Amino acid sequence: MDKIRFGMIGAGAISNAHIPAILKHPDAEIVCLADVNEEAAKAQAEKLEVPRICASYDTLMEMDDVDAVIVGIPTQFHADAVIKAARAGKHAMCEKPMARTLEDCRAMIQAHDDAGTTLAMGFVRRYDQHWGQIRKLIHEGKAGRPCMWRVIVAGSAPQPPNYGTWYADERFSDGTLTESASHDVDFLRYTFGEVETVTAHMQKLGTYGTVLDNCVVIFGFESGDTALLHWSWSLPKGAGSGFRGLDVIGPEGSIHEPRQIDDQWIAEVSRADEVVEQIPFENRRDATTWSQGQLDGFIRAIRGEALPRATGYDGYKAQEIYLAAVQSMESGLRIRLPLE
């Protein structure tokens, strides 16, 4: 097969990651950028050297010289674009979150199964060497098992000029736990396996937008491991939180979030008797990591050389976990998966 010819759906912030990855890949080329905001599409096309634009992804689907699309538009429209891509015989990578309902997620998966095309999810953190090193140390038993992964992140909601207002608008978005923390939720599944229980407290705390913006979730995994996730968009723009970070605690010790010392990245493991093990590792941004690695994986999947590292099923499970968190918030109960 010759180069994979791509269409990008959406001229927003995420296109700044996907289009350069396409331009750098020797087996890919960008053909068209579609966005309802033609001025935004024109500006982005000029900046990133995309040869043509169109105002509708329906038009892009009709193009014979487009083999695959990347869907980077508001979540509300993911299902329609991904299903239309399958019907047009085009492979699709869908940005997270997959869709707002499990029914839509299933329809997206079924459409590509029926068409024999590839559907991949944009869970780029699976290519992250930073978190990947923590995952590796967990699997090596450095903290012991079962263990608990803890994540705390707080800031302001994505908003103009770098992001669209839709991120914090409940008409188009489910907010913090899906638009940002779904990367973390997916990586936790990637590390520990299937989630068995979800316990959540979510609220509208900040003054910007209408979505649930302050989320605390406890995950219980079938493996016996647990995770505590706190993600918040509740701070005003420009304000910093007092603390953010992650670690892993277990019966054999703790794995600290990696840090850079001069030119070397180090992960630390704290053990009994005040023993601290420093483990050097590479934390690159190159052809095997982040957006570039994700695109390479998608191309290999299209060519039948491997499965996508993040599949439609992974997108479905991340949304199922969010919906379980909503049920837990509303009922005050621990929710057991699967929901259906």
Structural domains in the chain, sorted by start: 4-124+289-311 (3.40.50.720), 126-282+319-336 (3.30.360.10)
pLDDT, tens digit (0-9, with 9 covering 90-100), for 29-39: 999 999 999 99
Q: Which two tokens stand for residue 67?
A: 């083999």
CB of 318 closer than 8 Å to CB of 105: no
> Residue 289 pLDDT more than 90?
no
Rounded average pLDDT over 294-305: 97
> Residue 304 pLDDT more than 70?
yes
DSSP reduced 3-state for 214: strand
d(CA 117, CA 114): 8
* pLDDT recorded at residue 2: 87
For residue 120, what pLDDT band results from cuts at 50, 70 and 90? very high
pLDDT, tens digit (0-9, with 9 covering 90-100), for 222-246: 999 999 999 999 999 999 998 889 9
d(CA 45, CA 61): 18
Rounded average pLDDT over 86-101: 98
d(CA 89, CA 4): 13
pLDDT, tens digit (0-9, with 9 covering 90-100), for 317-339: 999 999 999 999 999 999 999 99
Rounded average pLDDT over 18-44: 97
Q: Which two tokens stand for residue 315?
A: 């997108």
> Residue 287 pLDDT more than 90?
no
Cα-only R_g, the chain: 20
CB of 119 closer than 8 Å to CB of 112: yes
Q: What is the mean pLDDT of the chain?
A: 96
The whole model's pTM is what? 0.96
For residue 62, what pLDDT band results from cuts at 50, 70 and 90? very high
What is the percent of the chain with per-residue pLDDT over 70, rounded to a whole number? 99
